[in-house]
Structure 1
Amino acid sequence: MICDRNLIAVVDDDKGVQRALSRLVRALGYDSVTYGSGEALLAAVHTRALACVILDHHLPGQTGLETLRKLARSTPPIPVAVITGLDEPGLRECCLAAGAVAYILKPASQFDIEAAIKKATFR
């Protein structure tokens, strides 16, 4: 599967956050697809050629970090920016060590999201 350099997945269990991030992604010139959990993303990841994922850490079921670790083993690996509203000691380091290209705190600015996407997609 060839990567669609314009398709960004937004994974968040809060529908309002999904909509807001999806609108921002589209305003930056990308297409977006949304998922409410890490499991939903992983179930669909082989059907979509994603450029990158904006992944909330605090999700129902498996955490963003667990999802990130599974995505890092995919072939080819999909770049992931982890976003969270509840920063925990050591979480940034764990996410970056697991392969995240960025660690973003909510509320995220347009600059933070744009920088993470550009880093992930090499634009």
Structure 2
Amino acid sequence: MNKDPSLVAVVDDEESVRKALGRLIRSAGYGVEMFGSGVEFMQSLKRTRPDCVVMDLRMPVLSGFELQSALQRSGVTVPVVIITGDDAADSRERALRCGARAFLRKPVDEALLIEAIQNAVRDPA
């Protein structure tokens, strides 16, 4: 169990996925904020900055790739963990090249996700 009150943002357009991830991440001792879109998440940065972002790649309006680019353009440096049903090699390569700290396939292995978050929070650079 994590004793660190680090904040993890979950960005996924599927409510059931957000809720499940939120429960899992809270059970590991992290604070969680959940967002149904990349647009919602970007707007939240005016009031708070998470220590890690767990995001889906395939979302309407602002995809995970576009969200990664928006974060870079805005100068926000926060570790990103990608979770996706799309395990195409080019998607994995692109996400990691754009700075993602981990790329995990849905349904996500809970232990791997918590480990990826721990690593990202421990070493955000």
User: How far 1:63 sits from its partner (Å)?
Assistant: 0.8
RMSD (Å) for aligned C-alpha atoms: 1.7
Partner of 1:96: 96
Q: Deviations over 1:8-61 (max 9, x none)?
A: 000111100000000000000001000011111111123112101000001011
Partner of 1:27: 27
Unaligned runs of 5+ in 1: none
Q: Distance in 2 between matches of 1:41 and 1:89?
A: 26
Q: Distance in 2 between matches of 1:115 and 1:92?
A: 18
Q: Distance in 1 between matches of 2:67 and 2:112?
A: 21
Counterparts in 2 of 1:67-78, with a 5 A limit?
67-78=67-78
Q: Which consecutive segments of 4 or more residues in structure 1 shift more than 3 A? A: 73-76
Q: Distance in 2 between matches of 1:76 and 1:10?
A: 16
Contact 2:5–2:31 (CA<8 Å) still a contact in 1? Answer: no
For this pair of structures, how many residues does the alignment match? 120
Partner of 1:56: 56
Unaligned runs of 5+ in 2: none
Percent of paired sites with the same residue: 37
